[in-house]
Amino acid sequence: MGSYALAIALAGAFVGKVRDWPGITLSVLAYGLIPRALVSSFAGIIIVGEGVGSVLLLLPSWRSWGAGIAILLLGAFVVGQAIVLRQGRLIQCGCFGRSIDGERVGVSTLARTLLLLALGLVVLFTAPTPFHPLHVLGALLLMATGSVVVAILRTIYDLSREREVVDH
C-alpha cells in the first residue's frame, strides 16, 4: 500500500514538472545550491527520477529500485529545503511544478518531504525483492540514462524551435 502512495506522489510531481519545465528549472535555480550551468540537467534528473521511480514502485519485483530512487530524490529535497529554511529565504518549492502549486518552502513542506522519505524507507525494507546496496547504484544509473535521453530530447526540441524562428 505504501508503495502505491509513494508512486502517486512521485507521479503527481512528475506530471506537474513535465508540464512546467521552465518553472522547475527556475525553482532549482532559486534554491541556489546547484551551479547555474547544471541547473537544467539537474531539473531533468529530478523529472526522470520521479517518472521512473513512480513506475518502478508499482512493479513488485522492481519496487526496491523505485524506493531507492524515491529515497535519493527525497533525501536531496530534504537537504535543499532545510538549507533554504535555515537561511530564512522565501522561495517556491516547485514540488509539483512551480506554476501549479506555488507553495513556498516552509516547515510544512519539509515535514511532508520527511514523511515521504520515511515512507520510502518503509517501502524499501519491506519490498518483495530484498534490498541490496547495488540497488542504489542501479537507481543512479537508471536516472543518469534517463537524464541523458531527456537532455537529447530537450536539445532536439530547442533546435527545432530555433529553426522555426529562423524560418519565419
- Written as tens digits, the pLDDT of the chain (168 aa) is 788 889 999 998 998 888 888 888 888 899 888 899 888 888 889 999 999 999 999 988 888 889 999 999 999 999 999 999 889 898 888 877 765 556 788 888 888 888 899 999 889 888 776 656 666 666 666 666 655 665 666 666 666 766 665 655
Q: Which is nearest to 13 in space by CA: 66, 57, 49, 40?
A: 49
Rounded distance, CA 119 to CA 167, Å? 51
Q: Please give the pLDDT value at position 112.
A: 87
Return the pLDDT at 129: 64
What is the pLDDT, as a whole number, of residue 18?
Answer: 87
Please give the grid coordinates belonging to residue 2: 505504501
Q: What is the pLDDT of residue 3?
A: 87
CB 50 within 8 A of CB 73: yes
- Could you tell me the three cell numbers for 162? 530555433
Q: Residue 85: what pLDDT? A: 87
| Model pLDDT, residue 17 | 87
Spatial distance between the Cα atoms of 87 and 82, rounded to a whole number of angstroms: 9
Give 92's strand partners: 104
pLDDT the model gives residue 22: 84
Domain residue limits at 50: 2-167
Q: What would the grid cell of residue 87 be?
A: 537561511
Which pLDDT belongs to residue 158? Answer: 66
Q: Which amino acid is at 15?
A: V
All residues at 6 or more sequence positions from 159 whose CB lies less than 8 Å from its CB, including other chains: none
Phi, psi at 95, each rounded to 5°? -60, -40
Query: What is the number of domains present in the chain?
Result: 1
pLDDT at position 23 is: 84
Other Cβ atoms less than 10 A from the Cβ of 47: the count is 23
For residues 56 and 149, what is the distance between their CA atoms, to the nearest angstrom?
18
Distance between CA 124 and CA 122 in Å, rounded?
5
Give pLDDT, residue 98.
62
